[in-house]
Chains A and B, each alone.
Chain A
Amino acid sequence: MAGRDTAARRYAEAAFQVARDDHALDAWQADLSVLAEAVAIPELREVVEHPAIPFAEKERVVRRAVTDVAAGPMNLILLMVRRGRPAAIPRMRLHFEELVRRDRGIAKAEVRTALPLGNEERAELAQTVERLAGRQVEITEVVDRGLIGGVAVRIGDQLYDASVRSRLERLRARLTTI
């Protein structure tokens, strides 16, 4: 069954293949983020998503709003607008970035801690996370007081949870089964 992301994923995969063949991944990524952010501006979004405005008009507006991008990314965005998929543009961009990361062997990791990390801790943690992921990682840090203590690392769909909260939950689960 088609999920909410299926369309976005298909466009992203096609765009990624074109970009890789042209050896222009970085340029595509930069252009796509400019375009996606432009289309996300409320006034512009209203225009591209409006069913009564003809496509030629939409194309003119988008081309005027964003000028300094390559032809490829612009065509992709216009194609998505013409096919009635402007709503999928933000997710398409996320998928595209994910594909680029995967191509370069970089994983995205989210590190949650109860307190902000110090520089030394950050370096140590980065090493550990890279070892866990088995490749380079791009770390996002999140401070979450709900963890109470410790750290929880999420790499893709895998969660390595060494927080005080998960320990307490496990303790509670064990105590309630007695």
Chain B
Amino acid sequence: MAIRSDEITSIIRDEIRSFTEGADVAGVGTIVEVGDGIAQVYGLSGALASELLEFPGGVMGMAFNLEEETVGALILGDYTGLKEGDQVKTTGRVVQVPVGDALIGRVVDPLGNPLDGKGPIETSQFRPVERIAPGVIVRQPVDTPVQTGIKAIDSMIPIGRGQRELILGDRQTGKTAIAVDTIINQKGQDLICVYVAIGQKLSTVAQIVAQLEEHGAMGHSIVVVAAASDPAPIQFLAPYAGAAIGEEFMEAGRDALCIYDDLSKHAWAYRQVSLLMRRPPGREAYPGDIFYAHSRLLERAARMSEDHGGGSLTALPIIETQAGDLSAYIPTNVISITDGQIHMQTDLFNQGQRPAVNAGLSVSRVGGNAQIKAMRQVAGRLRLDLAQYRELAAFAQFASDLDKATRDQLTRGEKLTEILKQPQFAPLSVERQVAIIWAGTNGYLDDVPTPKVKEFESGFFRFLDQNHPDLLPTIASEQAISDASQDAFRAAVTAFRQDAGFGAEETAA
């Protein structure tokens, strides 16, 4: 950071000029108890709810509990230097974060302080961290997709702009990978991504930032970090700060995506501060308003009506389950708040089904309206085929000889499952997804050996690019598969199968 000595001189000069003028007026109180990231402050009778408080040494705090004689304050910083009897001042401002374009590409803490060593954040725009969600009048239905670039999700569990889609699963099932891939897939598009890391290891966060940078995704992203080593009050504030940053874009008529990774740790942080503040514990010792804490956060995701700029804020909360227990308190709460969930499973992950999305338990309650027509045309069949496959696969384990229809159904399901596998950091454009799913659901992969499906897919894309360079762009521009495209596809697949020798070996064998 470059310090220009003339600037400093002028500031000091101004300060000295105004030295004799006026006095600071502030409400004051005295610390009577401090520790564990919270303080009880006697006095402060004029404090506002969630007002920013100033402790000695420049440490900031937030008024959390307003009581008759004392104020319970969350300390947003290092509390080790504070002691009983220290003076606390009000600031007249509620807790706020800097917002706007200056934040794009930056890594910040929930108060907007930069953590990436790229200098100060040059913005004069601030927003309160907490805000009431937009009302019914200013909203409109979700009708535009967020393309995650992941076949399994864009086809079967589509996410719309302004939707809240929960990603939940045990640890190590690829929840964060889906979020990161979604961010990477927005490269060169109009969706601004805010990734909020709550209670994660700093090494993990650094790794995610490095991955985003490596894939050129920091140019449209903001990372808000409240690491595991940060005090619980900071972790508690982080998702609200992320939502405020996203809202600024939404209200400017732009589209934003906010990923909260993860809300289980947010619930822990909130439980910690609530218990320290002696709010009565409820189920699993979470405070009584944990549901409200999450619902007011996720309600802030919205698609604004055209009269209000038409912007959107999409929320992708992440919840980590313990040993697959979906009926624990926090997972059920967040499932009921959100517009659907993507369920990740350890056994699928270990079987090599990655992303380990359980298509049976995952739903998207509004995203279907947001799918482009081409995807809807192929996805209906895909969902049906997979559902039948799952049913038969369980049943067929006990049967020795099966009729042909059953065998065909099983083969189809096997190939489709194989198609839905996708490596990390390889998001696909929607027209490519449509192309391969179309081929799969129309039986063109039924005779391809399962290990060769990957090869078929990449070869097919290459073949389309070389021999039918206008087919995929047509799908992308028409947003649907017209009869002409359907015929073109049929011809292309048949030509490709002959060309690459798929299907031939099977008939020979």
Contacts and interface: CB of A to CB of B under 8 A. Distances in A.
Contacts of A160: 23-25
Contacts of A41: none
Nearest to A173: B58
A162 B69 contact: no
B7 A161 contact: no
A159 B91 CA distance: 12
B122 to A, nearest CB: 12
Contact of B11 (A157, A166, A175): A175
Contact of A174 (B15, B32, B67): B15
Interface of chain A: mostly helix, strand, loop or mixed: mixed
Given A156-B45, A166-B24, A6 B29 contact: no
Given A171-B12, A175-B11, A162 B22 contact: yes
Contacts of B28: 154, 157-159
Nearest to B280: A1
Interface of A: 1, 3-6, 9, 154, 156-162, 166-167, 170-171, 173-178
A174 B7 CA distance: 12
Contacts of A161: 23-26
What interface size band does chain B fall in?
Answer: 20 to 34
A170 B45 contact: no
A35 B245 CA distance: 59
A156 B42 CA distance: 12
Contact of B27 (A6, A158, A175): A158
B27 A159 contact: yes
Given A3-B68, A3-B69, A157 B23 contact: no
Interface string B2-18: 01000110011001000
21 contacts: A1-B67, A3-B69, A4-B32, A154-B28, A157-B29, A157-B43, A157-B44, A157-B45, A158-B26, A159-B24, A160-B23, A160-B24, A161-B25, A162-B22, A167-B19, A170-B24, A171-B12, A173-B58, A175-B11, A178-B3, A178-B120
Given A159-B27, A173-B58, A6 B22 contact: no
B22 A174 contact: no
A166 B18 CA distance: 13
Interface in B342-391: none
